[in-house]
A and B are shown apart, each in its own frame.
Chain A
Amino acid sequence: MSDDRSSLANRAVSPSPEEAARESRHEVLRELLGAYADRELPPETVAQIDAHLVGCAECRHSLEVHHTLRARLAVEPPAAASPAFRARISAAIDAAPVPTAPRIAADARVTPGPRMLWLVASGWVVATVLALTLAVTSGSASRFTPSTRALAAPVHDVPLLGAVVDDYARVSRGDLPGRARDLDAVRAAVSFPVEPLRAPNLRLLAAWTTDVRGEPAAVLAYRLDDRLLVQYLVPEDVFFQHPAIRAAIADHHLLRAADGDRTVVAWPDSSTGNVLVGNVPTESLQSIWRSESTR
């Protein structure tokens, strides 16, 4: 069988319209050969490629490369995680905080009653509903988060947190000092990365810069449902200055604190520290942090 691409290459003159169309089709179809080899294409495209392969040696060779590499990589063995490594992971998970939903259920189990026991046995969804109901009726979510994870000292004993909480109080009383469109300007103004938080129902409202205890900070304000949250991003050396923050991060990856109705969570990124403040239940802030940490 003749090879239409070879004959095409041997012609010095301009290709005919038919040849140009064939070449164009070749360019398109050869980009699909990987997906063809992987059986990820719809039948009609497969049929087009089947027909093209009959007359195109280059695509046949290219397809063979795909098949050969795929077959070789498929037998690449997994690594064997050693028993010691598995034990290390198990210990690390033991030392980590427990995910929120089971913790709520566990706390509910501490004060047993027939209704409560039924709820615990009914699973996480029901337990979460119970926790939210109790939070509303009691006016506080703190009973669902163990005190061992909260900052023991008053917020203002940790200068960074005190400064942030005071700034939040000032900001939340007046007009926000920026707009969401100012984000790029904020990024350009500070020496560390500034990435907005992403979580369900969380929308960026404004971005601006400020200084926290004499150090530059980026500030992002969000709307969470009908509440205002403010995120302060500071350099990591500023973030880790106070021993209470270092201890909380080392033990729990997250610092949690409260100042009156205001709740605070703080955690480090690769090169920055985040302090998130809002007049919302701590659980809402922790949920945002979890979304970030699993992103």
Chain B
Amino acid sequence: MSTSPPAVDPIAELRARFEAVVMPHLDRLLAFAIRRTDSVADAEDAVQEACIRAWLGFADLRDEANARPWFYRILRTVLSDMREKSGRRQQLVYITRLEDAHEELVGGEHDALFSEVVSRLDGEAVHRGLRAIPEDFAAAVELHDIDGFKYVEIAEIVGVPIGTVMSRIARGRKLLAGAIMAERGGVAADARTTERRSAQGGPR
């Protein structure tokens, strides 16, 4: 009796590819979502929704080498939808205060001091700093410095020209430095807060 090769199950095969291509990025995506939500539970909900959307659109992903930025783009859309639905607003320290703190930092011989301050920051302090600056800037900085994307990939994820990515990363790091120094100096505690500036209305 002859034996025929086992039938290929296309769905199982696609699912296996999805697991192999997309799921390895889950930890990084969860961290990205945690920095943008009020709780781990909210972040997990966002990542779960992103996974479902990614699965539903997986057949449309032509180049699996682009799976990671593609997955981040979906997650950003989910997080944006969640923010819109919840009406959540980020509490921001005034931008000008952060810029002033940065100007003071680079205007003097404070390199060693800043380096020491940053080296002592724990994860919570880093998150507070990132949350104190506008989302567009924070996202660009995080996508590059934490998640390791190149500028061209960030442009694709965020949906802006590469020049805007360059500008957001440069300004985002300046504001983050200002936020770190402002908090160290107690400026943040006294600062008035304002609502998050949207991508359209916020500074570039």
Interface residues of A (CB under 8 A from B): 31-35, 38, 40, 58, 61-62, 64-66, 68-70, 72-74, 76-81, 85-86, 88-89, 92-93, 96-103, 105-106, 109, 117, 120-121, 124, 127, 253, 269-271, 290-291, 293-295
Residues in chain A near residue B27, CB distance under 8 A: 78-81
Contact of A295 (CB < 8 Å), options: B30, B52, B77, B126: B77
**Count of A-B residue pairs with CB < 8 Å:** 174
What is the bound-complex CA distance between A293 and B52, given in angstroms?
Answer: 10
Set of chain A residues within 8 Å of B169, measured between Cβ atoms: 34-35, 38
Chain A CB within 8 A of B95 CB: no
Q: How long is the Cα–Cα vector from A4 to B4 in the complex, in angstroms?
A: 81
Contact pick for A58, options B18, B47, B106, B176, CB 8 Å: B106
Supply 5 further A-B pairs (C-beta < 8 A) apart from A81-B26, A92-B52, A290-B57: A65-B106, A271-B85, A291-B57, A294-B53, A294-B60
Taking CB as reference atom, which chain B residue is nearest A35? B166
Contact status A74-B31, CB under 8 Å: no
Given A78-B28, A79-B31, residue A293 in contact with residue B48 (CB < 8 A): no
Nearest CB in chain A to that of B119: its residue: A72
Partner of B85, one of A74, A98, A270: A270
Contact B53 A74 (CB under 8 A): no
Q: B98-134 interface mask toward A, CB cutoff 8 Å, 1 = contact, 0 = none?
A: 0000100111111100110011010100100000000
Q: Which residues of A contact B13 (CB under 8 A)?
A: 102
What 6 A-B pairs are tightest by C-beta distance, nearest first? A34-B170, A294-B57, A73-B145, A99-B59, A101-B59, A105-B10
Report yes or no: A99 in contact with B28, Cβ–Cβ below 8 A.
no
The answer to whether B139 has its CB under 8 Å from any CB of chain A is no
What are 16 A-to-B residue pairs whose CB atoms are below 8 Å?
A: A34-B169, A34-B170, A38-B169, A40-B166, A65-B102, A65-B105, A72-B118, A76-B145, A77-B123, A79-B27, A89-B48, A89-B51, A97-B56, A106-B9, A270-B81, A294-B57
Across the interface, A271 reaches (CB within 8 A) one of B74, B84, B121, B173, namely B84
Q: Nearest chain A CB to B128's CB is how many angstroms away?
A: 13
Q: How far is the CA of A32 from the CA of B161 in the complex (A)?
A: 15
Q: How far is the CB of A286 from chain B (nearest CB, A)?
A: 10
